[in-house]
Copies of this chain bind each other. A is one copy, B any other.
Amino acid sequence: PPGRKVLIVYAHQEPKSLNGSLKRVAVEELSKQGCSVTVSDLYAMQFEPRATRNDIVGCLHNSEEFNYGVETWEAYKRGGLSSDLIEEQKKVQEADLLIFQFPLYWFSMPAIMKGWMDRVLVQGFAHEFPNCYDSGLLKNKLALFSFTTGGSREMYAKGGISGDIRYLLWPMQHGIMHFCGVKVLAPHICFAPEYVSEEKRKEMLTAWAQRLKTLWKEEPINCSPEWYFK
Contact = CB atoms under 8 A, between A and B. Distances in A.
Interface of A: 13-14, 16-17, 43, 46, 49-53, 64-69, 105-108, 110-112, 114-115, 117-119, 121, 133, 150, 161-164, 167-168, 170-172, 174-176, 179, 194, 225, 228-229
B110 A51 contact: yes
Nearest to A42: B50
A115 B107 contact: no
A14 B174 CA distance: 28
A67 B16 CA distance: 10
B176 A161 contact: no
Nearest to A129: B150
A13 B53 contact: yes
24 contacts: A17-B65, A17-B66, A43-B50, A49-B49, A49-B115, A50-B111, A50-B112, A51-B112, A67-B194, A105-B114, A106-B114, A106-B118, A106-B175, A106-B179, A107-B174, A107-B175, A108-B108, A108-B114, A110-B114, A111-B111, A111-B114, A111-B117, A133-B161, A167-B229
B50 A171 contact: no
- Which 4 residue pairs of A and B lie closest in terms of their CB atoms, listed nearest first? A107-B175, A111-B115, A107-B171, A49-B111
Given A49-B50, A111-B111, A174 B163 contact: yes
Contacts of A150: 69
Copies per assembly: 2
Contact of A171 (B49, B119, B171, B174): B171
Given A163-B225, A167-B228, A171-B171, A65 B14 contact: yes
Given A167-B170, A167-B228, A174-B163, A111 B69 contact: no
B107 A118 contact: no
A145 to B, nearest CB: 13
A171 B108 contact: yes
A109 to B, nearest CB: 8
Nearest to A133: B161
A157 to B, nearest CB: 12
B111 A51 contact: yes
